[in-house]
Structure 1
Amino acid sequence: MGRSWQEVNTLLVEADRILNCEEPIRYEGPFHVGVDLGTADVVLMVVDDHARPLAAFLEWAQVVRDGVVVDFVGAVDIVRRLVAKAQARLGVEITQASTSFPPGTDPRLSTNILETAGLDVVQVVDEPSCVGALLDLDRAAVVDIGGGTTGTAILGRGEVVFSDDEPTGGTHITLVIAGRTGLSFQEAEEKKRSPDDWNILDMARPTLQRICDIVGGHIGGHDVEEIILSGGTCCLEGIEAVFTSELGLPVKVPSRPLLLTPLAIASLPMN
């Protein structure tokens, strides 16, 4: 059974509070682990049976691009480091985890990384469908804007009825910022994460409109009444208004967009 929007946002705030916190805690009980292999970062999250976050660790890295592993050894090393940190925090041994992949890409790319890192993969589900499974949704589209691609899952009565993924994501916004400002790609990426007084939204708007075109194509012909946004790109202030204007539908942005998919992966039911 999915969780309410309010409940999920509360869980995300808690996940953000403990993000990269290595202080040991005493925990005895069942737990579930999710690993999100993103284009710009890798996140490992551990939750209890009620999806309450127990540990969450993030490392910025570009080891996966558009569903393709570009640094396999680097990805494995990161997963091992994050597992070690979670084990130390909780005082447990982590031997299995769930993971995800962009729709339309080969899920074995994700499972191979986890298995090489010494984990048994218990679930592998495409990214927007993970979020759809976490939330109690009907006639809704979950849009996961990753670094290189945008994935959409359409849900009806809690079941995924459509899922697809197309190029264009946060990396493209970074490239626009770099081109407009003369910054290096890495400098533009950091500026995008901490916009300060820069009007990043104006620079990002053409790319966001292209993403809206992609989503519009995905949801065309389906009964969709609302859109849920996920992924780090959705941290951009004002993105909700852009999607509402372009698609003419109510749009929801979670309290911590970067952590929604990791939470959803960790909360997948065990096989």
Structure 2
Amino acid sequence: MKRGLIVTKKMKNQQLLKRANQQLQQFAAIVNGDQPVRPVTAKETLRVGVDLGTSSIVMVVLDHANRVIYGNFAYDHAVRDGLVVNFMESVNILTRLKDQAEQVLGVPLTTACGAIPPGTGVGSEKIVTNVIESAGFDCRAIVDEPTAAAEFLRIQDGTVVDIGGGTTGISVFKQRKLVQVTDEPTGGFHMTLVLAGNHHWDMDTAEQAKRDRTQETEVFATVRPVVEKMAAITATTTQGQPQQPVIVVGGAINFDEFIATFSKTLGAPAYKPDFPQFVTPIGIAMYDKD
């Protein structure tokens, strides 16, 4: 076989991330805007994903070929450690997002899928289903968050670490099969908690500081131990030999030093897509099909 025809795993990983980043950049450019990526017709089959996160609720609309059409999000305090703690707030926010999307698209959105952290049980799945259906959707499926991320990333072999507001979810894939899935209660909320305690701030002040890029150096120095714990959880789960590639997603990882710190503690290289907070919602939407 000619050398030029040999595609190494590293090249495949780069190709996967390049494709994912193109779609993520496209989504980021139109999220919460007043125009979709392209006009849609009433006859089109649209797919909707709903990610009920600890700090925000994200809704994604795809077409039948899983191409991004539109998306929006709103900050919330309705979810804690991956579990809905304020049902009506979640319903009200999602209803507003649905109404906004339908106004922009000019067509009704009738079905949607949701996701939960791995291992949170039937009760959590039922609550997320009820939120989605109370907002006016027919809920077609509830999937594990890191598994949804892997669907979007087209992972055949690898480890997906989904760091959300309240939890670190880990899914390991071999030959397209999910061979291990786990979840631990450490996420962005715990970063905020450490930051608030260190500076004697209330939680809202700490959360705003965490999102402020001008304070990133100081903030990350404070929350670094939380990032190291996330990596240690991943190392323990994979017994120190994570299936490659290790791709980290979720809204809590948007720090310049996150991946370098995570990789050092993990003892293996990890990768971050562009706009990692949108990976899982897009993956969720891909399950909204017959």
Is this a same-fold pair by TM over 0.5? yes
Matches for 1:129-208 after TM superposition, within 5 Å: 129-199=147-217, 200-208=219-227
Letter aligned with residue 156 of structure 2: D
Q: Contact 1:45–1:57 at 8 Å: present in 2 too?
A: yes
**Among residues 119, 122, 129, which one is paired with 1:104 in the alignment?**
119
CA distance in 1: counterparts of 2:74 and 2:20, whole angstroms? 23
Letter aligned with residue 194 of structure 1: D
Q: Contact 1:11–1:51 at 8 Å: present in 2 too?
A: no
Matches for 1:233-244 after TM superposition, within 5 Å: 233-244=252-263
* Residue 27 in structure 1 maps to residue 40 in structure 2: yes
Q: Contact 1:132–1:158 at 8 Å: present in 2 too?
A: no
SS class of match (1:4): helix
Aligned length: 270
Q: Which residue of 2 aligns with 1:12?
A: 24
Please, what TM-score do these two structures have when normalized by structure 1? 0.94
CA distance in 2: counterparts of 1:176 and 1:110, whole angstroms? 28
Q: Which residue of 2 aligns with 1:87?
A: 102
SS class of match (2:77): coil
Q: Which residue of 1 aligns with 2:267?
A: 248
CA distance in 1: counterparts of 2:83 and 2:75, whole angstroms? 17
Structure 1 residues without counterparts, runs of 5 or longer: none
* Residue 128 in structure 1 maps to residue 146 in structure 2: yes
Letter aligned with residue 175 of structure 1: L
Give the C-alpha shift of residue 223 in structure 1.
5.7
SS class of match (1:50): coil
CA RMSD between the two structures: 1.8
Q: Based on CA coordinates, which of the two structures has the bigger radius of gyration? A: 2
Specify whether residues 60 and 248 from structure 1 end up closer, same or farther in structure 2 by C-alpha distance, changes over 3 A only.
Answer: same
Letter aligned with residue 21 of structure 2: N
Letter aligned with residue 157 of structure 1: Q
CA distance in 2: counterparts of 1:226 and 1:4, whole angstroms? 10
Give the C-alpha shift of residue 190 in structure 1.
1.1
Q: Which residue of 2 aligns with 1:210?
A: 229
* Residue 68 in structure 1 maps to residue 83 in structure 2: yes
* Residue 225 in structure 1 maps to residue 240 in structure 2: no
SS class of match (1:137): coil
Q: Which runs of 4+ in 1 moved over 6 A?
A: none
Letter aligned with residue 205 of structure 1: R
Q: Which moved more, 1:219-228 or 1:257-266?
A: 219-228
Letter aligned with residue 13 of structure 1: Q
CA distance in 2: counterparts of 1:198 and 1:16, whole angstroms? 21
Structure 2 residues without counterparts, runs of 5 or longer: 1-14
String of CA shifts for 1:161-214, please: whole Å, max 9, x gaps: 111101111011111111222322111111111231442221111111111111
SS class of match (2:214): coil
Q: Percent identical across equivalent pairs? A: 35
